[in-house]
Chain A
Amino acid sequence: MNPVVEYFDDIYRGLKTATVGMRITFKHLFTKAVTIQYPTVKMKLPERARNRLYVNMDDCIGCDQCSMACPVDCISIETIKSTPEDNLGTTSTGQKKRLHVPVFDIDIAKCCYCGLCVYPCPTECIKMTDVYEFSEFDRHNLIYSFSTMTPAEVETARAKAKKMEEEAAAKKAAAAAAAKAAADAKAAAQTSAPAPQPEGSQPKPE
């Protein structure tokens, strides 16, 4: 382009584009603002939004699957076996509860809101809620304990389980002793006439 023409063309386009820009900003001056006044007005969350975890302990069977699925290990669960005479009830899905759950802690500060713990739960008791305002001044307050058992209950459950285990161990020991005695008696009876042993079990000659 001719430099003289270009000079005037530049000026013309400079002025024109400035007015174009001014028209756009003027139009936006009267369009409705998109701002949401957050604490007083809240945005509607999507249906499957993942925020704070919640555990319904009435349904928890202590299977530990959520804890295993967690990629950041923020769920810690401890369980105590129940005795046959204890009736822990059933979950809302009709499953029988066999384990006490004295500890079900979620460190929500570690949680990455992936939702992977929700899917394996057989009773659908761990789920993501739509609560997202739970900041704390002390980080330890972010460890949520969901267990409903009192320390006394935990104590008795533990004692019972221990007793049951001991009984079972004693029974097992007795059974083992009986079995051993029977085997010994059998062996004693067979020493006079040794039975032919299978070949593989004999040490091979050098």
Chain B
Amino acid sequence: MEQFLTSLIGEPLLVHVIMAAIPLLFILPYALVVIYLEMKIAAHMQDRVAYMRTGWHGTLQPIADMLKLLQKEDTVPAAADKFLFILAPYIVFIGTYAAFAALPFSPAFIGSNINIGIFYIVAISSLVVVGLLMAGWASNNKWSLFGALRSAAQIVSYEIPSAFAILGVVMLAGTMSLQELSSLQTGGITHWMILGGTLPLMKKLIVVPLMLILFLVYYISSMAEVNRTPFDIPEAESELVQGYNTEYSGMKFAIFYLAEYANLFAVSAVATVLFFGGWASPFASVMTGPFWSAFWFITKGMLFVCLNIWLRWTLPRLRVDQLMYMSWKVLTPFAFVCVLALGLVLVW
């Protein structure tokens, strides 16, 4: 893609800008679709119908919502730290969007094919915490501060089991590059990491349960990292108004919202790449190629996004102590034992 664009345009700087903007072109329509999906799935799970008036079955409602948010007055509280208050949503969005740079959408398109891709994503996602803390602190509001501190505690705690789960996959694959990780998993569903990758059959039998547990650990902690129910205590609308974004309105609120949904896709995509083959087709050599690959990548990512929405509207919110219990006493030891066992299998 990069070479093609360079041959087409010539100017390398312009090519980089275009390459950087392509994921944004994906995120914006994706956010509209997911907002619509989320509302519809939530409603139907509760025997309601959600939007019905704007367009066919309310399909234009997300666009109307977006236009409304753009038109709204963008207020800054008088007692807020104005500079940080305005900066915070952009930091959150940058932290989220930076993760898209290393996501392999297809063999032909990856923002930056670095050899430490997954490490980079884990590292850069932490920037989101800084943004959330900044938002909560700068708002000068007790609810916001509570939300921000909870969010920081939660994300920092859950990064440990999620990093362990990622470590397991990296050990199995022997690479941190997401593009390479995806190409390792081509050649049908049996080569996916969740089914033991390219290991011989005997070893697979031992590795598959370990990978399954690692996937569960990763998926649960990724849910906590994007602050969604059942781990939405930073927002906790029934306790904390809206948590760290209580004081935000208009465009800045919209950016928080966009960042949340973009982050949701980012963690789902990482789960896809790590365990479910990334852009690799499930049918060996059928439906491969750059465009089909992008199709598989986005479809798999969206499946996990839908799973997340399903869980969100099923499970109630966890208490703070339950949240910490889950991270430190359940997910971390399980992930640790799995990684240890996986290491033993691999050296055996």
State the A residues within 8 Å of B (CB): 7, 11, 18, 21-22, 24-26, 28-35, 37
> Which of B243-251, B307-315, B338-346 lies at the binding interface?
B307-315
Interchain CA distance A28-B46 in the complex, whole Å: 7
Q: Does B45 contact A (CB under 8 A)?
A: yes
**Interface pair A25/B314, CB less than 8 Å apart:** yes
Selected contact of A33 from candidates B41, B49, B329, B330, CB within 8 Å: B49
Q: Does B43 contact A (CB under 8 A)?
A: yes
Known: A11-B330, A18-B315, A37-B52. A25 touches B45 (CB 8 A): yes
Interchain CA distance A30-B329 in the complex, whole Å: 37
In the complex, what residue of chain B is closest to A31 when comparing beta carbons?
B47
**Interface pair B330/A34, CB less than 8 Å apart:** no
Interface of chain A, helix or strand or loop or mixed? Answer: helix
State the B residues within 8 Å of A (CB): 41, 43-49, 52, 310-311, 313-315, 329-330
- Total cross-chain contacts (CB, 8 A): 38
- A37 contacts across to B, CB distance below 8 A: 49, 52
Selected contact of B313 from candidates A25, A30, A31, A33, CB within 8 Å: A25
**Interface pair B47/A25, CB less than 8 Å apart:** no
CB A21 to nearest CB in B, in angstroms, measures 4
**Interface pair A28/B315, CB less than 8 Å apart:** no
**Interface pair A34/B314, CB less than 8 Å apart:** no
**Interface pair B48/A22, CB less than 8 Å apart:** no
- A29 contacts across to B, CB distance below 8 A: 41, 44-45
Interchain CA distance A143-B312 in the complex, whole Å: 50
**Interface pair A33/B44, CB less than 8 Å apart:** yes
Can you show 27 pairs from A to B with CB atoms below 8 A apart? A7-B329, A11-B330, A18-B311, A18-B314, A21-B314, A22-B310, A22-B311, A24-B314, A25-B45, A25-B310, A25-B314, A28-B45, A28-B46, A28-B47, A29-B44, A29-B45, A30-B44, A32-B47, A33-B43, A33-B44, A33-B48, A33-B49, A34-B47, A34-B48, A35-B47, A35-B49, A37-B49
CB A113 to nearest CB in B, in angstroms, measures 28
Interchain CA distance A30-B310 in the complex, whole Å: 13
- B43 contacts across to A, CB distance below 8 A: 33
In the complex, what residue of chain A is closest to B44 when comparing beta carbons?
A29
**Interface pair A26/B310, CB less than 8 Å apart:** yes
**Interface pair A21/B315, CB less than 8 Å apart:** yes
Interchain CA distance A31-B47 in the complex, whole Å: 7
- A18 contacts across to B, CB distance below 8 A: 311, 314-315
Interchain CA distance A31-B44 in the complex, whole Å: 8
5 A-B pairs besides A22-B311, A26-B310, A29-B45 with CB distance below 8 A are A28-B44, A28-B45, A31-B47, A33-B48, A35-B48
